Structure 1
């Protein structure tokens, strides 16, 4: 008897004249194809939905981020100005718009640092040895000790070791017509003084002369004392350890460049140079591009083949609903104009927006400052968020972890894994089915071969009987 497993081709088609190998393949294919098609069709739709949802979220993020970027630029926040930049210059800090301008500034005194200079050594250079030992630097933050040995025994080596110590004190080598010396500089501010204490292996070395404190100057020379910057701002006196001031006026950096007691410098902000009308036109165009894409993805269609890939997805319906609130939500809490709808931004039947430029022009003529502050306030608050903050809050609400969009994404991701499992299971089932059919038809071939052998034997016997009768 023929055994299944040695070779399917050998086992099939051995004596019946039927191509049972092709027959098994046809039966397996006829069974697999409708089941596989049903799974792959659903898999393809699910994949399209995953891609479309990801694209919708990406488009929403791009829209919100671009709006924030545009509104934070100087074209819409204004530009800070100093009436005398040689005394004090100004620049914007991120996060908001300066409040309290214009302001009157007087720079009474600049912040300075302790500066020490060593004795000049004639004929020395940066590579000249300073002697081995150690140099201890003491500041308000603590003590750092720098070791000078054969690896850094030079003016340049000592300066590099001090700069790498993290003490807050810097050192540099100065060489001029008189010779070479070391210059040490601390941080600015009255509380940032420092002292040096040298321990030299050779008392006559340059290192030995680097000790200095306010009580014992030694051979070092102090060329500058540590002092705070002193300013008056709108008549109020302030002191700062440095000459860059970030917290005198919110979101404004003031760099003090020169002391000029008695001189008043006016600090101000220019109004935004870009037209609000242009901004709102760009906003409407970008919003409509996003909404049209969502409309296409959610179109109902006459049948499933013409419907949008996200038709019926609740998360996308929720996204469109929340975006639609942008025109009616209050951007400001005071004044006659509080919403985009108040200044001419209206919603069409398909969810896209239109801008009535005549209505906007009339509103801008009536209250230009109020509308500017409504769309882009100096500081966003809960009751006066401004357009950028409102867009961010809508985006955050749409994309929250337990919201409809994220829930839909999780569902489709789970379905993608399930469809993969179903196809793997179908492969296993069809492999087993093919093996079963092969076994059945192999057994049939064996029986047919036996019947043919019996038939041949009987035919021979009949011939023998017929010949014996003759």
Structure 2
């Protein structure tokens, strides 16, 4: 008779009773994990595309222009899609500068000779500095460094005036610099609150290093339109930002700015969208591909929600915006949904309607979404919004499912242990009985042989 193995037998029987349910739980757990991983992949793909939309929207527009000058070193320029091709002339009479005052050999004085001073700006703003509290090292005197620190840390200063101590040729000076250019940044010190003495006298005898002055620029050259402002950056021409860096002499020829269409740059911006969309399309195709004889399908191959997502994106691509479509701009899709750009067709479309790009692509601005970028970004929010978006809702459902599966697995493990212990006990007893019977049988055999 074969020897009975209680452990092996108990294991086989307990496994046989629990295997169908174990197979079900294992399959469901694997499927839940696959779906969770696929949702993370989808989130990454949609987020990357949404970021690309925001980048295109927050840039200076898709239509690009170049800006060049006939003379270098006088100005720089940037353009947005609202610029117009053309030429403009300027004469830079003077640049805007930030006011600077220096106080030479400001004496270190006892704290008792400190007091309040008021720093005033020409634009009407001011702030108070209490020099009595400026003695940070508690040595009983107020030094230039402590005065500078007190000015910089004054509650209402907020960076309007920067104080620093400069040493040159053995002479120490307190330098006050306005943080903004223009006449409105002119600094004056009211030291009338200080006790009469050397410190008050020093504050009343400043030396101006740099005057506070506005920029003065003539549009159209000298004698044209006079433009005066506190900043050296002018935005008077729509779509063009000019920063002047050098004043011109009265005899210099006018500075000429030429704004031209940048067909290559414009096509490059459109191709950024095409590339971003194709990357998203590739990810969606991988997640939704149908399986075949020798290949498995995507996790979302039969998911109606993901199909609706793909369909909505396609409909936004095919839509017209202010009577203009992507196809008219040279963007077309192949049978696999991948986009491509016909640059020649784009250039011709923009020659016929320079505003066509802005009409179609619009803006992904949260407050006022428009066009293709706005429509896609707004729709993607339904999927990507943290907590309430469709991906978040699906992930929450999967987490609940995984939690339930974990609880079922725990119960099944307990059930398996119960079966195992019961069968182990039964077959251990049976094995013991078998051993006893074999022993008794052996005794009978010995008796028979002896007789």
- Stretch deviating more after TM superposition (80-89 or 308-317): 80-89
Question: How far apart, in 1, do the equivalents of 2:178 and 2:267 lie?
Answer: 52
Would you say the 8 A contact 2:289–2:297 is kept in 1? yes
Paired residue for 1:309?
Answer: 299
Give the counterpart of 1:54 among 40, 49, 52: 40
Would you say the 8 A contact 1:163–1:170 is kept in 2? yes
1:197 aligns with 2:183: no
Paired residue for 2:420?
Answer: 434
1:190-246 C-alpha deviation (Å, 9 max, x unpaired) = 444331428889945xx343333xxxxxx3344555454455668776654x42447
Question: How far apart, in 1, do the equivalents of 2:294 and 2:419 lie?
Answer: 33
Would you say the 8 A contact 1:131–1:153 is kept in 2? yes
Paired residue for 1:210?
Answer: 202
1:255 aligns with 2:243: yes
Question: How far apart, in 2, do the equivalents of 1:383 and 1:363 lie?
Answer: 29
Q: 1:252: how far off?
A: 5.3
Q: 1:414: how far off?
A: 3.0
Question: How far apart, in 2, do the equivalents of 1:164 and 1:436 lie?
Answer: 80
- Stretch deviating more after TM superposition (63-72 or 44-53): 63-72
Paired residue for 1:182?
Answer: 174
Given the two structures, how large is their TM-score scaled by the length of structure 2?
Answer: 0.71
Paired residue for 2:315?
Answer: 325
Paired residue for 1:145?
Answer: 130
- Alpha-carbon spacing, 1:294–1:246, altered in 2? closer, same or farther (3 Å): same
Would you say the 8 A contact 1:76–1:274 is kept in 2? no
Paired residue for 1:395?
Answer: 380
Paired residue for 1:89?
Answer: 76
Map residues 114-125 of structure 1 onto 2, 5 A cutoff.
114-119=99-104
Question: How far apart, in 1, do the equivalents of 2:339 and 2:370 lie?
Answer: 21
RMSD value over aligned CA atoms? Answer: 5.0
Q: 1:339: how far off?
A: 0.8
Question: How far apart, in 1, do the equivalents of 2:130 and 2:239 lie?
Answer: 39
- Alpha-carbon spacing, 1:340–1:323, altered in 2? closer, same or farther (3 Å): same
Report the secondary structure of 1:150's partner residue. coil
Paired residue for 1:78?
Answer: 65
Would you say the 8 A contact 1:330–1:384 is kept in 2? no
Question: How far apart, in 1, do the equivalents of 2:347 and 2:85 lie?
Answer: 28
Question: How far apart, in 2, do the equivalents of 1:225 and 1:141 lie?
Answer: 19
1:102-124 C-alpha deviation (Å, 9 max, x unpaired) = 66666565444554333459xxx
Would you say the 8 A contact 2:288–2:299 is kept in 1? yes
Map residues 401-420 of structure 1 onto 2, 5 A cutoff.
404-420=390-406
Report the secondary structure of 1:309's partner residue. coil
Q: 1:57: how far off?
A: 2.9
Would you say the 8 A contact 2:101–2:176 is kept in 1? yes
Question: How far apart, in 1, do the equivalents of 2:363 and 2:261 lie?
Answer: 12
Would you say the 8 A contact 1:81–1:268 is kept in 2? yes
Residue correspondences, number:
427
Map residues 376-391 of structure 1 onto 2, 5 A cutoff.
385=370, 388-391=373-376
Q: 1:143: how far off?
A: 0.8
Question: How far apart, in 2, do the equivalents of 1:259 and 1:163 lie?
Answer: 32
Q: Structure 2 unaligned segments of length 5 or more: list them.
A: none
Give the counterpart of 2:161 among 169, 185, 189: 169
Would you say the 8 A contact 1:120–1:178 is kept in 2? no
Would you say the 8 A contact 2:320–2:360 is kept in 1? no
Paired residue for 1:130?
Answer: 108
Map residues 200-239 of structure 1 onto 2, 5 A cutoff.
203-204=197-198, 207-212=199-204, 219-222=205-208, 226-229=212-215
Paired residue for 1:215?
Answer: none
Q: Structure 1 unaligned segments of length 5 or more: list them.
A: 1-15, 122-128, 213-218, 464-469
Would you say the 8 A contact 1:345–1:356 is kept in 2? yes
Question: How far apart, in 2, do the equivalents of 1:356 and 1:253 lie?
Answer: 31
Q: 1:348: how far off?
A: 4.0
Paired residue for 1:352?
Answer: 338
Question: How far apart, in 1, do the equivalents of 2:332 and 2:306 lie?
Answer: 21
1:151-183 C-alpha deviation (Å, 9 max, x unpaired) = 985445544554444633333445556944333
